[in-house]
Amino acid sequence: MAAANRELHVSAVRPRSYQDESYLHGFLGTVGDLQKAGVLQDVVLEVEGRRFPCHRLVLSAASPYFRAMFTSDMAESRQKTVVLQSLDAGMLGEILSYIYSGTLHVSLDKVQPLYQAADLLQLDYVRDTCSSYMAMNVGRSTCLDLYKFADVFSVDSVQNRCLQLIHRNFVEIAFSEEFYSLSVNQLTEIISHDELEVKEETTVWEAVVRWVQYSREDRQHHLPSILPHIRFNLLTSDDTAAILEHPLVKEDPGSSEVIRNVVPSETSKLKPRLGMTTEMVMLHKSSNKLYSRSNELLFMNPREGKYISCSYRSEDIPDDVMSLTVTSDNNIYILTESAGEDDDDDDGGDPDSYHEYLYQYNQARNVWERAGMSKISILTTESVSVFLVEVDRILYCLAEDKDVDGVRHLRLRKYNRRTDQWQECSQMELDHAYCCKIALSCDRHLYYIMDKQMYCYNPSQDTWCERTPPRFGDPYERFTAVAMGTEIFYTNSKFHRTMVYDTESDYWKTLNGWPGPGILCRPPYLFALENQLHILVEVSDKNREGSSSDYRVYVYDRSVDCWRDLKATLPDATFYYTYGSCAPVARMYLPYLQGM
């Protein structure tokens, strides 16, 4: 009986595993000490005449390249000395120092050869660290050199960062020796982008001329392939004539042929460069306080004193606008609703059916056109609060509606450009019904904000989560909000104070509101112009005779937490409004608006 009890006790004691943390942390140090002492080394790596005694086991554990070399039937697996090609001896020394110590030393003068060595030896950590270091140290003096390196080795993060700086400083950079050493493919890649900060397209042509003339004998034959990347639709007829008379073109029949026949058709739809555009706020104009349908838009930049009114024919501007959005690549879309019969549908012309279409603004023609996307079909007869929002270059449509049990849901769809279909995303049940809500994009997430509730959608995980709401006051009061960077700015119709939400900390902070004087006639509109927070308000001066009002634009000065009047002068005798939570801002090519 006692023996049986002992057996039961022994079987009830479970085995355990113990981990020696000091051994784990000290093992690499011990290996490094063996290397410094030259103990147990069993292979010598030779590069550029320099010899590096090492341990096969350590090299194989650290690098897939060495693991394949020493565990296969390759001749190197049996050799005492292995000669390595295509490696810099100094960089191999840095790599071995990292392998034996876990510490990597990186500097701007050696980051490129270090990346090359890590790429050959398949050391992911070293390669990724070098990529991050290069991306962090892109500057005016380094962007072209790093761009050329990143282009050869397909380091996208570095290449994109370099292109941003090259585009922003193109006028200055295009006179540098590094610019003249670009390959033809690198040159055309740079000048083909919309983001180029140039005021005139002749600047791009002149940069191309200098690049060709730097080594004319070797580069003249590339000119016909470069010319289609110059936007001749943005040049005057005199500019084009002057280019045709330039010796580089005049003496090359192929280039002349490209300009006369190929370029006009290929460049006619190219957008203006970023540097040629101006940030403009878009407002609808109405002749009465009820904001009845209007065929007029006002494009304004109060900071520069620019105000351009555009009138459209009824058929050239959409009816029943529900939402308007400006995307990161400066496309402007309007979401419209049509009820009843539609030629493109299979519903047999059901008068209770709804069709939602996207219209896109054509800047060159200054008209609204069907965007060429499939209809969304997200609405029902119970739908309210429809929003069109772009998140990380993808369009989303949100609509709030009720099911047969009266439960409110937030439905979400995203547009797939490859299939031309709107795909269903995760929907969310709402606890309460508020008449005022907004949807906006901030820091690669989508936010749905009501005064007493707030939700965040993560596109990468297709999930919703609840966040801290602003709790400003009356949940049925209208409010306005706009995103800037990783923050959301918010105020209500009274504009007594402003609140700012930090998306990273899930925290609201209170800022000052409108300083007065006067009385707000209608809810204001926030907007972000030239990376500064602004607000448009309609004010009635109680000290002025009559019931007249005027519009004012204030800019927020964060350093002193106050709003400053820009003394803007909007066109009189009209009312302004917009669709959505804020006044949309787009980069506009003013000659198009002015009827060029």
Does 497 have pLDDT greater than 80? Answer: yes
Q: What is the mean pLDDT of the segment spanning 283-304?
A: 78
Does 351 have pLDDT greater than 70? Answer: no
pLDDT at 573: 57
Percent of the chain scoring above 70 in pLDDT: 84
Query: Higher model confidence: residue 329 or residue 223?
Result: 223
Q: Which two tokens stand for residue 259?
A: 């300009």
Does 272 have pLDDT greater than 80? Answer: yes
Each domain of the chain, given as residue ranges in start order, spans: 25-136, 143-267, 277-593
pLDDT bucket at 82, cuts 50 / 70 / 90: confident
Contact criterion met (CB below 8 Å) for 312 and 297? yes
For the domain bounded by 143-267, which CATH number is listed? 1.25.40.420
* Distance, C-alpha 391 to centroid of its chain: 9
pLDDT at 514: 77
Residue given tokens 């979401």 in the structure block: 335
For 340: left if phi > 0, alpha if psi spans -120 to 50, otherwise beta; the answer is left
Q: What is the rounded end-to-end Cα distance, in angstroms, of the chain? A: 106
What DSSP line would sit under 259-295, residue for residue?
IIIIHHHHHTTPPPPGGG-EEEEEEEEESSTT----S
Question: pLDDT per residue over 527-579, tens digit each?
Answer: 999 999 999 998 886 655 555 778 899 999 999 999 999 998 888 657 888 87
Phi first, then psi: give them for residue 362, nearest 5 degrees.
-95, 105
Identity of the amino acid at 52: F
Architecture field, domain 25-136: 2-Layer Sandwich (3.30)
Distance CA 487, CA 31 (A): 49
Q: What is the mean pLDDT of the segment spanning 419-445?
A: 86
pTM to 2 decimal places:
0.76
pLDDT at 9: 57
The segment with the largest mean pLDDT, out of 184-188, 330-334, 547-551, is: 184-188
Distance CA 533, CA 567 (A): 16
pLDDT bucket at 340, cuts 50 / 70 / 90: very low
What are the residues whose beta carbons fall under 8 Å from the beta carbon of 49, sequence distance 6 or more? 89
CATH topology of domain 277-593: Neuraminidase (2.120.10)
Distance CA 501, CA 467 (A): 11
Residues in the chain: 596
Q: Tell me if domain 25-136 and domain 143-267 are identical in fold.
A: no
Question: What b/e string do you get for 346-378 counting C-beta neighbours within 10 Å, with b at 16 or more?
Answer: eeeeeeebbbbbbbbbebeebbbeebebeebeb
Does 396 have pLDDT greater than 60? Answer: yes
How far is CA 145 from each of CA 43, 151, 173, 406, rounded to the nearest angstrom?
A: 37, 10, 11, 62
* Distance, C-alpha 396 to centroid of its chain: 15
- What is the number of other CB atoms lying within 10 angstroms of the CB of residue 417? 10
Q: Which two tokens stand for residue 486?
A: 């990783």
Distance CA 234, CA 184 (A): 23
Q: Quick check: bond before 517 cis, omega within 30?
A: yes
pLDDT at 130: 95
pLDDT at 520: 82
CA triplet 495, 579, 552: central angle to 5 degrees?
A: 40
Task: Tell me how many helices (H) and strands (E) the chain has.
Answer: 20, 30
Query: Higher model confidence: residue 355 or residue 277?
Result: 277
Phi first, then psi: give them for residue 546, nearest 5 degrees.
85, -175
- What is the number of other CB atoms lying within 10 angstroms of the CB of residue 477? 15
Residue given tokens 């448009």 in the structure block: 536
